[in-house]
Chains A and B, each alone.
Chain A
Amino acid sequence: MSSFKEIATKDSCFRAGSTLCPGCMESVAFQNIGRVTDNGVKTIFTIGTSCAEVSTLAFPNVVAWGRGDESSDDFGKSFSILHNVFESAPTLAEATRDVADALTDCGALDRPVQIISTGGDGGAFAIGLRTLLHTIHRRARVTIVILVNEIFANTGFQYSPATMPYADTSTTPAEGAPGNMNPPLDYIHLAIAAGAGMVAQLSPAHGKMFVKAVERSLEVEGTAVIFVPAPCISGWKFEDGQTVELALLGARSGVFPAFMWERGKGGSVKDCSLEASERPDVVDFLAMQRRFAHLVQRDKVTGEVKPKPGREQDIENLKGWVQSNVERMYSLANLK
């Protein structure tokens, strides 16, 4: 394992020039993953249709990928990226792994490759649940990174199966209606049940843990899955400069607790107490985002956050969901 400092000095395969919104967590995640993969091993990314793709892989405008200003003579620094249809990134990654393994098996390739599939929560949990679970189920030796911003951001902030309760999305509007009423899919449990070798829920807001998890994902047996909670400045509607703060608050308050799990070893919830009283109040998390403006309001004088009149019960319901979410994560950590 490299030290956090050491990784910070590496050459990321995610480069300047993307058109991701300033403050998008996806670019922070790519920066970090890009650095971790600068380890002397050839890197191949596959990517699903999403903000992450259309904003980074634009040709002949900027392709914000590649290691170094020019291709290196060192094959171990070389980098490739492949996009096909919306949900196909895990299958593309699995195919790439199989071809590399088959070539190695014949003696035709004597250098290792590391393969990372990436895409959004819509691609993974809605249209692509089949491909996600089956690639995991076949124990493909790839890392699957899913950027969970709880919406279809690229197409205009629609509901996704990861949308949290009460969120205002363009297809679960909160005007005159409660927002999303469907609890999110238990995707962490699904990944474990499908046979993943490693499952994490971590964002770069937990910097050291995040890069360690990415590093570990490249070593474990079978498929490693990293769900990256990814605050979306445009869809969640928060202020500039709050991305990391929001990601930390979301994790600590129990909306998407930091979690690391390995098959055979079990796992743990990090930085998020099982006791509600020991966690930051989820209401503070809600108050930072206008997607919950129908639920809470901040007193302009005292700065205190309160439920909007008539929304008290909804806030209680939401807190109940958060507590059950944290309990769920603790019980998943006990699985071996």
Chain B
Amino acid sequence: MSTIGIEHGPTTHVATPGGERYDILKLERVKQAHIPFYPEQEGVTADGNTAAAIATLQMWRALIYPGFPITPSTKWIETVAAKVGAQKGTKKRVKLLEAEHAVADYMVGAGAACRDLIFSTATSSVGLDHMTETTRSLGASGLGNVMIINVYRATANFPLCIEGDPSDAMAHRDDGFIQICARGKQQIYDTVLQAPCLGMHPEIMTPTMPGYYGIKDSHRNARFIVEADTAVHEFQDRWLQPCHLPGTINGDTAMGNCVTSRHFQGFKINQKRRIERVLDILPQIGADFEKTFGRPGLRFFDETAWPEAGPVDIAVVGMGPDYGTFESVREAWAKKNDVSVSGLALRLLNPFPRDAYREKLQRAKVVLVVNQAHHSGRGHLTLDVADALAGIEPQPRIVSAFAGMGGADVSEATWEAMLDEAKDALTTAPRQPYMVFHEGARL
């Protein structure tokens, strides 16, 4: 780790695997041009979209904010536009494009032009779908300085509904982005701040897609801490160094070439290797964040009620704000039923941290996995958990549940119904490969 700081003499160039790189950019000038939005740490009451917008605005490396509206899911671009517009003398710019596809293309052009700046946008559902051709290119591009904030919303527009189930995030798992799920405004803010440190890490160089649930988290207000811009910069500067590869402006380089099969195959292997590095580097960034700000940083998952050691009867795997309802019913239900119940709330969706789940979940007799997105089989998360547990003897029984589909609240009664099924599985095999729960009942 080192802070940025480039000496400027006459322009020099050095050969890199990606072409020649010229020492032409005075990045410290970009930093000097940043006008703080928050000179001091401040408590703010706002919704999730605003929390994400504030985090992106505070980054000195973020100069241009491309976007296309997808309201009501996210008012990110409107919020950014209002705050940039209100800041006299700012060098930041809002860029309104004609479609999400264009936004994604724009981020390729911008991210490639200067690999030391951060380009973020926010979208949701059909907006993310509209970007797909380019998100899949971006995923492979090495442009870790691109961030798409995904406000989870059902992808189907037939019938159209704006409810926040995470089917968009699940459908885009193979785009190649690092996907991190946040719940609660503080976690949204903190996650967006840390994401570029991960994506732009020289061993990772993979774009990021922090996300949070639409409506439930995007639109509900809560109080959270906003750090001073200078503190944000200090943290990010510890992790972000000038990219060792050239961009189109500071380089003599060709990007996005048409490559031979052999080269392409090597490239795909390298892409996979780079995203796997997330599993080592994410905890380091998270730990540094925690040390710096005193709040939990990036993690693979949030843990609920895990004893130091030894077995647990039921382990719950879920994600998003509905997991909070599980946390609130857990203790009473466990006491009443005389079983121990622990839980994991997913944070890192992609790459899925299989080994970390395995290590935890092998202590459980039954694992209740709660899927909230449409899936034609047993559920996205169920398959990941099953994979994580493969080969363990004795194999914990997996109870696969669908709940909260279409953005429904997963009520206390629904959680209790699912836990009842998990309890039955302590003694007998689950009734069905997966079960659908809605409004307190198994359907």
Q: Which residues of A contact B (CB under 8 A)?
A: 42, 44, 46, 53-54, 57-61, 63, 65-66, 71-73, 75, 78-85, 88, 91-96, 98-100, 102-103, 105-111, 113, 130-131, 134
Name the residue of chain A whose CB is nearest to the CB of B10: A73
Of residues 244 through 270 on chain B, the ones whose CB sits less than 8 Å from some CB of chain A are 246-249, 251-260, 263
Main SS of the interface on chain A? Answer: mixed
Take A96-B109, A107-B26 as given contacts and tell me if A81 and B255 are in contact as well, using a CB distance cutoff of 8 Å. Answer: yes
Q: How far is the CA of A57 from the CA of B259 in the complex (A)?
A: 8
B44 in the interface (beta carbon within 8 A): no
B53 in the interface (beta carbon within 8 A): no
The contact size tier of chain B is: 35 or more
Take A83-B258, A95-B110, A96-B110 as given contacts and tell me if A75 and B64 are in contact as well, using a CB distance cutoff of 8 Å. Answer: no
Q: How far is the CA of A113 from the CA of B114 in the complex (A)?
A: 13
Distance of B137 from chain A, by nearest CB (Å): 6
Distance of B169 from chain A, by nearest CB (Å): 22
B234 in the interface (beta carbon within 8 A): no
B26: which A residues are within 8 A, CB to CB?
107-110
Contact A103 B252 (CB under 8 A): no
B147 in the interface (beta carbon within 8 A): no
Among B70-78, B92-100, B309-317, B360-368, the one that faces the other chain is: B92-100
Which of A80, A85, A111, A134 sits near B248, CB closer than 8 Å?
Answer: A80
Q: Which residues of B contact A (CB under 8 A)?
A: 11-13, 15, 19-20, 22, 24-27, 29-30, 32-33, 63-64, 66, 91, 93, 95, 97-99, 101-102, 105-110, 112-114, 117, 133-134, 137, 246-249, 251-260, 263
Contact B29 A108 (CB under 8 A): yes
Which of A61, A65, A80, A94 sits near B249, CB closer than 8 Å?
Answer: A80
Contact B249 A95 (CB under 8 A): no
Contact B249 A98 (CB under 8 A): no
Report how many A-B pairs have Cβ atoms within 8 Å: 172
Contact A95 B24 (CB under 8 A): no
Take A57-B258, A102-B91 as given contacts and tell me if A131 and B20 are in contact as well, using a CB distance cutoff of 8 Å. Answer: no
B19: which A residues are within 8 A, CB to CB?
71, 80
A103: which B residues are within 8 A, CB to CB?
25, 30, 63, 114, 249
A-B contact sample (9 more), CB < 8 A, given A71-B252, A95-B113, A108-B33: A44-B249, A57-B257, A59-B260, A80-B246, A91-B97, A91-B105, A103-B25, A108-B26, A131-B101
B133: which A residues are within 8 A, CB to CB?
85
Contact B91 A105 (CB under 8 A): yes
Which of B33, B99, B134, B253 sits near A106, CB closer than 8 Å?
Answer: B33
B246: which A residues are within 8 A, CB to CB?
80
